[in-house]
Structure 1
Amino acid sequence: MERKRALVCAGLCLVLAACSSPPPQQKEAAKEAPPPPAAPEKKAEEPRAEEKKAEAPGKIYRVKFTTTKGEFIVEVNRDWAPLGAQRFYELVKDRYYDDSGFFRVVPNFVIQFGLAADPKMTKKWDTPIKDDPVLRTNGLGTVTFATAGPNTRTTQIFINMRSNQRLDDQGFAPFGKVIEGMNVVERIYAGYGEMPDQDLITRQGNAYLKNKFPNLDFIKKAVIM
């Protein structure tokens, strides 16, 4: 399945768009260009057998990301966004994010990831989940699913690189926060901006990313602590 580009809209007057993303000009970060959509606009369905939940212990858990720039830790709180927190847990347990790239980096706005190294893995997890209510603001360091419209969250995640409170009213529900290693996150390579094509990542995975974007930073592994 081909995906639309993942979109995070940060301006009150901007509407969530579905496909194209603007040229990667760092000067335009202040304009808050919307991120490409994370999933096709279709209603959330019941998970397939391989996606059945394996509940994590307790309402709070932590995930350690080992990246090409170093390590950072995300603390997830199920009370913030129960469905998002559970999907993230399942993805990490399935090693979905291992060797995946930070394919969209807009300085002073967001860092985005969540298209798998192997297109088969991306396809495996393309069933969207329903939305959570927004109970926490999109503050600096918070972690949120990208969307392509209502009830379209699948695998793509963004880290807020500033206070993006305006995203709250647009339905972006944070489920966790970077609690250690934000300095590592800030060093993730931003030179390609929004150049990587999400459709090509979806179809070709890292064969495309590593060939066309040699300086891109990657997640080596993500594990439940």
Structure 2
Amino acid sequence: MADTLTLTLSTGGDVVIKLRPDLAPGHVERISELAKQGFYDGVPFHRVIPGFMAQGGDPTGSGMGGSELPDLKAEFSAEPHTRGTCSMARTSNPDSANSQFFICFDDARFLDRQYTVWGQVESGMEHVDALPTGEPVANPGRIEKAVVA
């Protein structure tokens, strides 16, 4: 299984994420599969809240879209939601994660054990910090390319 996911962002650089199959093997497999298919290429960060998180992974950019693959069963863990934590977005149904994910800007420990952590930013967090903000974002930053290695 791949060790890292590299997101090349429109904000000027690469974000290298250490994948955590030890915490969420099903979610890491899904993210890796979608990245290999080119699913995330060109996809916007449609919801970016300063001091909280940047959310992307919806090709429609509406926050309502996802992949055609079935939703995933939750893989919640005690891993803390801190700066650089990568976790899956979902609806109020715990087993509704599909392709959308978020990257935490700061500690968001109130999310612990309620969202599936699948990775941790190792480098390039400054490119996440540089994403345009909003809910929705008027002119969103994008994932230009997603590569698993």
Identity of aligned residues (%): 28
Aligned letter for 1:218? R
The alignment of Structure 1 onto Structure 2 pairs a total of residues equal to 144
Who is 2:56 aligned against? 113
Match of 1:68 in 2: 10
Say whether the 8 Å CA contact 2:14–2:124 is kept in structure 1.
Answer: yes
* TM superposition shift of 1:124: 2.1
Which aligned pairs between 1:165-180 and structure 2 lie closer than 5 A?
165-169=109-113, 171-180=114-123
Change (3 A) 1:97 1:74: same
> TM-score, structure 2 length as denominator?
0.89
**1:123 offset after TM fit, Å?**
4.8
Aligned residue for 2:79? 136
Indicate the SS of the match to 1:103. Answer: strand
2:101 alignment partner AA? I
1:159 equivalent in alignment to 2:100: no
In the other structure, the counterpart of 2:140 is: 216
Judged with a 3 Å threshold, the aligned counterparts in structure 2 of structure 1 residues 123 and 163 are, in CA distance, closer, same or farther, namely: closer
Q: How far apart are the structure 2 equivalents of 1:189 and 1:140?
A: 18
CA contact (8 A) 2:67 2:98 kept: no
- Give 1:141 deviation, angstroms: 0.4
In structure 1, what is the Cα distance between the partners aligned to 2:50 and 2:72?
Answer: 29
> Larger % of strand: which?
2
CA distance in 1, matches of 2:96, 2:60: 21
| Cα pair 1:128 1:151 within 8 Å, conserved | yes
TM-score (normalizing by structure 1): 0.60
Is the Cα contact below 8 Å between 1:138 and 1:163 reproduced in 2?
yes
**Which consecutive unaligned segments of at least 5 residues does structure 1 have?**
1-55, 197-212
Please show how residues 179-194 of structure 1 align to structure 2 within 5 Å: 179-190=122-133, 193-194=134-135
Please provide the CA RMSD for this pair: 1.8
Deviation at 1:82, TM superposition (A): 1.5
Higher radius of gyration, 1 or 2: 1
Within-5 A mapping of 1:3-82: 56=1, 61-69=3-11, 70-82=13-25
Describe the superposition over 1:158-192 as per-residue Cα deviations: whole angstroms up to 9, x where unpaired: 001111111114x21211111010111101111xx
User: Is the Cα–Cα contact under 8 Å of residues 76 and 117 in structure 2 kept in the other structure?
Assistant: no
Greater RCO (CA < 8 Å, at least 6 residues apart): 2
